[in-house]
Structure 1
Amino acid sequence: MKKLLASVFVAAVMIATPALATDLTIGVRTEIQMDPHFAWTDANVAYYDHIYGGLTKKDRQLKVHPGLAESWSNDSPTKWRFVLRDGVTFQDGSPLTADDVVASFDRVKTIKAGSPFTGAIPGVVSVEAEDEHTVIITTSSPQPLLASNVSAIEIIPAEIAESATTEDFNSGKAAIGTGPYKVVEYQAGDHLLLERNDDYWGEKAKWDHVTFRFLPNDPARLAALLGGDVDLIDYVQPQLVDRIKNDPGFKIVTTPSLRVMALTVDSGRDQSPQVTDKAGNPIENPMKDVRVRRAMSMAIDRKAISDRVMNGLAAPAGQLAPDFLAGYNDSVEVPEVDLAAAKALLAEAGYPDGFALTINCTNDRYLNDAQVCQALGQMLSRLGLKIDVQTMPASIFFPKVNLSQPGGPQFSALLTGWSDTRGEALVLQSTLHTHDDARGLGAYNRGNYSNPELDKVLDATLSELDAEKRHALLAEAMKIAMDDVAAIPLYYQSVIVAERDGISYEPWPTEATMADSASLTAAQ
């Protein structure tokens, strides 16, 4: 990661000009899911932060600031008191009250979501209104990061929270928040138009209007920038970077991302839906054996993926956190490629001739996700596995890995990405803790992994209020998980943005695409 830090391009100094009547158009890869409680992804949260607001909010360095709550305190280790700001109104003119907060949290806990926000607030057992401007949140155990976690829960009017459907948000009539921008128009598959909310309680938005144009096709997004149809684009594919850098009218801006990409494999089910012998006959799931998982990890050339597939704009990963995140463990190294040793491990586990496996990936969610998937297929084929690679849009992919569906996730191996925007390696709690719906743990455990030793250490992190001790526990948990090959880390991603001359954008390590991080330069 340090090499990546040394090689990033630095954004030009920005000179903001909020007094001008200005509009901004951004070409974005990922379309918004309009229901603010339906899909917990970084891209959606970035959209929501324009329109809505949480009790707290975070800046690009992940520092927590007061949001709709002006202050918070602990009455006890498991009882939090949030005091709401006076005078905050929703975009329909109704005042913000504690009842709106309670109803919003209740909706998060009860809605049948595609990617539930319950994973953002593990351990929350009740949210109650003490009075009109005071909210009491009670947790099952001490939650040291609760003030950070609640920033992900967007607050909407109670009447909407209690009755609105996802279709109501899609139509726009329920898309009412307290944020710096308000929704003017949403056209599925085309664009989202926002305008400045002049009644916003905080610093006023920079732009009169912001249009997010949904351009999931990477060449089309680039063409829109080069053709002058948009001012900047996000998620620039690494192979397109040189084309943009060579044009004097445009500039590439990058920063290291919090996101780590990994291969998640089904290590829990006796029968896995996409595993057979090479003749197509059902077999007991080989990936339950750590030797098989380790063999697969040793067969993957992470440096080749980072250097070739990602055009040098990634760094090989040996664990599920970058080195600037709490929980990173210095003793965990990036696995070396050793095909001979990997084949020996596979034979020792009882699979000298390999087996057949399907790898599933999105083709529109992560940088070069489909190309990475193909590379993984080739590398694992050299191990002796019969690999089928399936890529699909995120809209099809994610419903198939929802833990709440009958039988669990439909995949046996999948490319996943995780960005820990809370400043600590909570990926372990969310993706590797044994699934515990009641406590919001393992909400994204799509590999059905379960390890009592890991659970015990992670449970201790949930209640450890001392940050130094908690970070040491997370590092211990990381070592346990990586020794057991609970997941197969691949590489750390970069944030890559392209902008036209006259626009200067400061990228977020969280990969959030934020309108007010763009400014007009002095030439404008």
Structure 2
Amino acid sequence: MKIKRIGVVAIALAAAGALTLSGCTSGDTGATDESGSSTAIITTNGNEPQNPLIPTNTNEVGGGKILDSIFAGLIFYDADGAPVNDMAESIETEDAQHYTIKIKADQTFSNGEPVTANSFVDAWNYGAALDNAQLSSYFFESIEGFSYDVNVPELPGLVVVDDLTFEVTLSQPESDFPLRLGYSAFFPLPESAWEDIEAFGENPIGNGPYMLDGEGAWKHNEKIDLVVNPDYQGPRQPANGGLDIIFYATQDASYADLQGGNVDVVDQIPPSALGTYEDEFGDRSVNQAAAIFQSFTIPARLPHFSGEEGELRRAAISKAINREEISDVIFEGAASAAHDFTSPVIDGYSEEIPGADVLEFDADAAKDLWAEADAISPWTGTFQIGYNADGGHQAWVDAVANQLKNNLGIEASGNPFPTFAEFRTSVTDRAIQTAFRTGWQADYPSLFNFLGPIYGTDAGSNDGDYSNPEFDTLLTEGLAETELDAANAKFQQAQEILFKDLPAIPLWYRTVNGAWSEQVENVQYGWNSVPLYYQITKSE
């Protein structure tokens, strides 16, 4: 697996210096070459979103893929993960704590409403307010006035200066704040959203390169139809006529449609085809490193997994898994064994973090650790791993379960849910009573993004409800650093705590494996594994 590191914007602040993101362009990305039609619809694979499409309540890839196409944030990330201004004219600071953000003039939502400073501030306030129970509220934690204890309908750290300018005050200096602003939690919302936010989520009105193709465009559990938004003026100008995202029941089904010429681009290859798809599709295939980390989470609320007993059992389970074997046999080169909780394509990644040896396969050590836990409280029951059956996970879950059976002498199995939406709802509602598969496709290219949103106390994607004050403190200290190396050193120290507590069991890093039909050209997969749909051209 070729590794290409993605450099976070290096921010070194002098005493009177200023950080500015302004005037960024990405060239003419909307040109259609001779082989393509600007009206042709691109078809691709996806998942039924877990929730209605409200940006601050969407923290999974099915909904995220749609939101990134129909909304435009202050910035977006190019193929390599570098930030490019979208709605932002400039993002400036002199101290990494007080930011002034100016929006480009004459930007509109697809219903004609103007994109203003209030479009962002109102949406962020909604996402941050405790009473609104938004899954991505954690992303506003840094803004002055945010609280997990008291509902704050309007953050004092957000101030509208004029129609196109607002100011953000953070609780402490955090120099990577501008880099986060391309994530969907920070997208704007039109005034019409507040008339009925639940109805809006079913038929969202965005300001991005695409928009929903009228009423009924979202056919639940089937597909969503997007067309070009003619009012979008940003740098992601579509070179096609729209995007149909099909919610396939299995990866095998989407791959069969690709082989039959019934879908244009897929970004997932089923395990059964990983060894053959590159030969079949040749230069119309991709196998490249991406910012994707996979694991499974064992909530401390489960019997036998709290306190000292839980610590011993988590370490035993981790050491009982032969990650290299599963990576080679199941994924056939499309994954590599994890050495940490982040991704090797991100600056700051290290395989030398103390405690990482808990990820090394050692069946004898695993048995000893399990026996120590049994001495505290004898094991009862079956160890299960929950997963969505429509995501191509059964093979590796079964392989892990078999290794746990053989190496620990316990009953272990998978716990399948029919669809991704059903699985995620069970996880977020805390209804699931087994371990469950987890993973992370980065929101922005930073070590912190693999740690804070997943393991920080009360974080929106902290599905195992992990909490360690020492870990939280190291994250806060890392964010406050103005030198990237110093920040990453803190994040690596935080991982030492994770290796001891193991709130999730790291498994492997995934590549993005995809292919496309003969009808399309200019296909490029981004740093986070998602194709840059707006660049794709298609012959009629």
SS of residue matched to 1:216:
coil
1:137 to 142, 161, 168: 168
**Does the CA-based 8 Å contact 1:4-1:313 persist in structure 2?**
no
Distance 1:516 1:284, change over 3 A: closer
Deviation of the 1:113 alpha carbon? 7.6
User: What code does the residue aligned with 1:180 have?
Assistant: P
- 1:171-320 alignment to 2 at 5 Å? 172=203, 175-184=204-213, 185-203=217-235, 204-247=237-280, 251-267=284-300, 269=301, 272=302, 275=303, 285=306, 289-320=310-341
1:514 to 506, 529, 532: 532
Distance 1:168 1:423, change over 3 A: closer
Q: Deviations over 1:48-90 (max 9, x none)?
A: 2221111222112221121212101126443211101111111
Distance 1:255 1:194, change over 3 A: same
Q: For residues 136 and 534 of structure 2, what CA distance do their matches in structure 1 show?
A: 25
2:411 to 386, 404, 408: 386
User: What code does the residue aligned with 2:165 have?
Assistant: T
User: What code does the residue aligned with 2:228 have?
Assistant: R
The answer to which of 420-429 and 17-26 deviates more is 17-26
Q: For residues 233 and 109 of structure 1, what CA distance do their matches in structure 2 show?
A: 34
Q: Deviations over 1:180-219 (max 9, x none)?
A: 1121122222222222222221232111232222223222
- 1:384-463 alignment to 2 at 5 Å? 384-392=409-417, 393-402=419-428, 408=430, 410-426=432-448, 427-435=450-458, 442-463=459-480
Q: For residues 414 and 113 of structure 1, what CA distance do their matches in structure 2 show?
A: 26
**Does the CA-based 8 Å contact 1:82-1:136 persist in structure 2?**
yes
User: What code does the residue aligned with 1:298 have?
Assistant: K
1:10 counterpart residue number: none
**Does the CA-based 8 Å contact 2:298-2:435 persist in structure 1?**
yes
2:150 counterpart residue number: none
SS of residue matched to 2:294:
strand
- 1:71-150 alignment to 2 at 5 Å? 71-74=90-93, 76-110=95-129, 116-125=135-144, 126=155, 127-150=158-181
Q: For residues 115 and 253 of structure 1, what CA distance do their matches in structure 2 show?
A: 35
SS of residue matched to 2:422:
helix
User: What code does the residue aligned with 1:474 have?
Assistant: F
**Does the CA-based 8 Å contact 2:32-2:38 persist in structure 1?**
no
Identity %: 22
Q: For residues 221 and 501 of structure 2, what CA distance do their matches in structure 1 show?
A: 42
Deviation of the 1:315 alpha carbon? 0.3
Q: Deviations over 1:315-373 (max 9, x none)?
A: 0112111223134223145633221221111212334964324433322565x322222
**Does the CA-based 8 Å contact 1:40-1:115 persist in structure 2?**
no
1:356 counterpart residue number: 381
The answer to which of 76-85 and 480-489 deviates more is 480-489
**Does the CA-based 8 Å contact 2:128-2:138 persist in structure 1?**
no
The answer to which of 240-249 and 60-69 deviates more is 240-249
Structure 2: which 5+ residue stretches go unaligned? 6-29, 145-154
Deviation of the 1:242 alpha carbon? 4.3
**Does the CA-based 8 Å contact 1:29-1:218 persist in structure 2?**
no
Deviation of the 1:247 alpha carbon? 4.0
SS of residue matched to 1:167:
helix
Q: For residues 308 and 296 of structure 2, what CA distance do their matches in structure 1 show?
A: 12
Distance 1:266 1:429, change over 3 A: same
Q: Deviations over 1:144-179 (max 9, x none)?
A: 22212222222121231x233333332x3xx21211
In the alignment, structure 1 residue 154 sits paired with structure 2 residue 178: no
Q: For residues 475 and 130 of structure 2, what CA distance do their matches in structure 1 show?
A: 27
**Does the CA-based 8 Å contact 1:221-1:233 persist in structure 2?**
yes
User: What code does the residue aligned with 1:424 have?
Assistant: S
**Does the CA-based 8 Å contact 2:41-2:242 persist in structure 1?**
yes
**Does the CA-based 8 Å contact 2:75-2:84 persist in structure 1?**
yes
Calculate the TM-score normalised by the size of structure 2. Answer: 0.82
Q: RMSD across aligned C-alpha pairs, in angstroms?
A: 2.9
Q: For residues 99 and 376 of structure 1, what CA distance do their matches in structure 2 show?
A: 49
Q: For residues 309 and 371 of structure 2, what CA distance do their matches in structure 1 show?
A: 15
Calculate the TM-score normalised by the size of structure 1. Answer: 0.85
**Does the CA-based 8 Å contact 1:114-1:398 persist in structure 2?**
no
**Does the CA-based 8 Å contact 2:342-2:349 persist in structure 1?**
yes
Deviation of the 1:223 alpha carbon? 2.2
